[in-house]
Amino acid sequence: MSTLPQLASPPPEVAMAQMLMGQWVANCISGLARLGIPDVVESEPKSAEEIAREIGADAGAVYRLMRATAAVGVLTESADGKFSQTPLSAVLRSNAHPTLRHFATFLTQEWHMRGWGRIEDGIRTGKTVMEGIYGMPIFEYFAKNPDMGANFNDAMTSASSMQANCVADVYDFSQLRSIVDVAGGVGLLLATILNRNAHLSGTLYEVTHVLDAARNGPLAPLADRCQFIAGNMFESVPPGSDAYIMKYIIHDWPDDVCVKILKSCRAGVNEGGKLLVVDNVVPVGNDFAQGKIIDIEMLLFPGGKERTEAQFKDLLAASGWRLARIIPTESGLSIVEGVPA
């Protein structure tokens, strides 16, 4: 009885080349999402020629793109040359729940690609790169380029569709009666929490133009238990709540800005209330963690950072809170729970 030979680990130069090609893999997946190919093969397997006709593209190029993504499990090619959906490609469908189509397309937006191209500048200076490219911070860029801003917001909502259930799965909201989602976008996280906890009332706190969209979003069926308040989180938050929750907000900003936001939450929270910061918590050591990579995104674009447990402890202490516990979720994010100090 023969056995297949065991392949040795690749030499360092080969392993490094494979890692560097990861950017190309992500770009191919982004292209697949942009073209809407996962939607086209949702009902049945199709050939490159059939798909090309439906999306108005070159059949040879479509085949080559799908062959490339199938090599990493995003689509699969059968012996007859037709491509079928896989669990990985299925989450790129526009009607998937959750869908990561918008997140995939955001990765190859021009501003994003150009920003990562300035990584050397960002590391040398320790500053964001958007000012050097476009002459303005990232959120000002989005305000002046609403199409780019809308795509970014859709991408964040896509990510939230994956993360919201994970947060609601692991945190016990039964002791709370009210919660404010600070800068909560169109309200997907808050809607998920309210749907799971019929006793809770909620407040979505956002800037005016985001609230206009949010009123017709996931919170619309919960209007009897939710209010929409417009404001500036850098100045104040609505007072009188049992909890304040922020997902992927604190990591956008440097410590001094975060302290202002968290102090406002501390001033507004009811006695015995909670602070819930949903972010990456960067572990010590050399093991892979998504937060270690996303941290560079934060450095290059908004100017924030992903934080370790010790950094969260210090940040909360400077804001009148005490770090009570850190609760991991299946999404890779954690819930950093603070209580009044």
- Beta bridge pairs of residue 276: 245, 337
Catalytic residues: 251
Domains and CATH numbers, the chain: 12-92 (1.10.10.10), 162-340 (3.40.50.150)
pLDDT level of residue 8 (50, 70, 90 thresholds): confident
Query: Which tens digits make up the pLDDT trace of 190-229?
Result: 999 999 999 999 999 999 988 988 999 999 999 999 999 9
Q: Considering the chain, what percentage of its residues have pLDDT values greater than 90?
A: 91
Query: Which tens digits make up the pLDDT trace of 247-303?
Result: 999 999 999 999 999 999 999 999 999 999 999 999 999 999 999 999 999 999 999
Across 112-129, average pLDDT: 97
Q: Which residue has the tokens 């799908």?
A: 66
99 near 93, Cβ under 8 Å? yes
In this prediction the pTM is 0.90
pLDDT level of residue 153 (50, 70, 90 thresholds): confident
pLDDT of residue 303: 96
pLDDT level of residue 244 (50, 70, 90 thresholds): very high
Query: Which tens digits make up the pLDDT trace of 296-339?
Result: 999 999 999 999 999 999 999 999 999 999 999 999 999 999 99
226 near 206, Cβ under 8 Å? no
pLDDT of residue 6: 67
Query: Which tens digits make up the pLDDT trace of 49-60?
Result: 999 999 999 999
Residue 179 has pLDDT above 90, yes or no: yes
What is the chain's mean pLDDT, rounded? 95
pLDDT level of residue 5 (50, 70, 90 thresholds): low
DSSP code of residue 256? H
pLDDT of residue 4: 65
How far apart, in whole angstroms, are the C-alpha atoms of residue 156 and residue 106?
9
Residue 1 has pLDDT above 80, yes or no: no
In the chain, the DSSP E strands lie at 46-47, 76-77, 82-84, 178-182, 201-206, 226-230, 241-247, 269-279, 281-282, 307-308, 321-328, 334-340
